[in-house]
């Protein structure tokens, strides 16, 4: 498998983690495993002080590949749920500063990179939304707990139940992101924040980050260790395939 993740050394202990799986940085079981392993390696590397997550493509990430998953067996659905829980548990719990540089659409699973980062910088053209309801699925434990912890109760309800896409200014107001910058300033600003956060004592940073996120991380770790996520018993319902087919048909008509 060609690697979907590239690492660049930006100097001063800042590592850029670049998502590069054309055409839309879709997350598969394999990509989620690679993401988790990459984060483990960066966390264990004392030379890495902070991580900037970005995209090599014209958007950030469209989440899961609907064409790929629509015919998944129950076993593959369970593997996908486990992959999401494991990867985003490690992303959200990473002891080092993690800054997201969002250069375009960050939708469904892609939006969790913004929510789970310590700081998220985006450009004006970025779009955000949790469209799982449109696909006819609910949320595995890790994505659900991240959204619940990072969104206000009102935003949490609106984002999850509407499946709507939000422009960057609305995302800023809802605290999905922390800052909007010009396209040509995105990486520079994300690196500046990463450097600022990396300048704090690392043990204290990790300890405080885990204090802030202790409750959702405990639930996420339990889902990983005890395999107690209810969606493991069959994530898709009788609605899911029809919903995915309708979305794919609509997308094909718009092309």
**3-class SS of residue 82:** helix
Candidates 249, 231, 186, 247; CA nearest to 56 is 186
Answer whether 100's CB lies under 8 Å from 50's CB. no
Domain for residue 60, yes or no?
yes
pLDDT tens figures, 35-93: 999 999 999 999 999 999 999 999 999 999 999 999 999 999 999 999 999 999 999 99
Domain for residue 215, yes or no?
no
Count up the domains in the chain and report the number: 1
Q: Give the C-alpha separation, 78 to 91, whole Å.
A: 20
The answer for 63, left when phi > 0, alpha when psi is -120 to 50, beta otherwise, is left
Domain for residue 211, yes or no?
no
Q: Give the C-alpha separation, 113 to 229, whole Å.
A: 21
Domain for residue 210, yes or no?
no
- The residue segments making up the domain with residue 128 are 5-198
Segment (H or E) for 144:
helix 141-150
Average pLDDT, the chain: 96
Domain for residue 167, yes or no?
yes
Which candidate in 132, 173, 188, 196 is catalytic?
132
pLDDT for residue 227: 94
Q: Which pTM was predicted? A: 0.95
Q: Taking 90 as the threshold, does the pLDDT of residue 250 lie above it?
A: no
Instruction: Give 255 or 48, the one with higher predicted confidence.
Output: 48
CATH, residue 163: 3.90.226.10
Q: Taking 70 as the threshold, does the pLDDT of residue 1 lie above it?
A: no
Strand partners, 122: 102, 180
pLDDT tens figures, 161-204: 999 999 999 999 999 999 999 999 999 999 999 999 999 999 99
Domain for residue 214, yes or no?
no
pLDDT for residue 179: 98
* 132 noted as active-site residue: yes
Q: Which residues contact 245 (CB under 8 A, 6 or more apart)?
A: 70
Domain for residue 203, yes or no?
no
Domain for residue 109, yes or no?
yes
Q: Which residues contact 145 (CB under 8 A, 6 or more apart)?
A: 216, 219, 220
Read off φ and ψ for residue 18, nearest 5 degrees. -110, 125
Token pair for residue 111? 């939006």
Q: Taking 70 as the threshold, does the pLDDT of residue 255 lie above it?
A: no
């Amino acid at each position: 498998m060609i690697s979907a993740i590239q690492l660049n050394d930006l100097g001063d202990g800042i590592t850029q983690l670049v998502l590069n799986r054309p055409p839309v940085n879709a997350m598969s079981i394999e990509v989620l495993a690679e993401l988790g392993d990459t984060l483990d390696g960066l966390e264990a590397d004392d030379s890495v002080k902070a991580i900037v997550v970005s995209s090599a493509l014209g958007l950030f990430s469209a989440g899961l590949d609907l064409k790929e998953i629509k015919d998944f067996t129950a076993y593959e659905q369970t593997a996908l749920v486990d992959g999401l829980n494991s990867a985003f548990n490690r992303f959200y719990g990473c002891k080092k500063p993690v800054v997201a540089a969002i250069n375009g659409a960050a939708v469904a699973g892609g939006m969790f990179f913004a929510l789970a980062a310590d700081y998220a910088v985006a450009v004006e053209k970025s779009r955000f939304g949790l469209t799982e309801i449109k696909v006819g699925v609910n949320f595995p434990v890790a994505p659900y707990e991240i959204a619940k912890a990072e969104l206000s109760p009102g935003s949490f309800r609106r984002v999850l139940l509407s499946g709507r896409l939000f422009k960057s200014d609305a995302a800023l107001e809802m605290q999905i992101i922390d800052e909007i910058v010009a396209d040509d300033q995105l990486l520079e600003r994300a690196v500046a924040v990463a450097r600022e956060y990396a300048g704090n004592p690392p043990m204290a940073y990790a300890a405080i980050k885990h204090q802030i996120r202790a409750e959702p991380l405990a639930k996420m770790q339990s889902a990983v260790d005890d395999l107690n996520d209810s969606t493991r018993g069959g994530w898709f319902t009788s609605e899911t395939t029809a919903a995915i087919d309708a979305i794919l048909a609509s997308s094909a008509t718009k092309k």
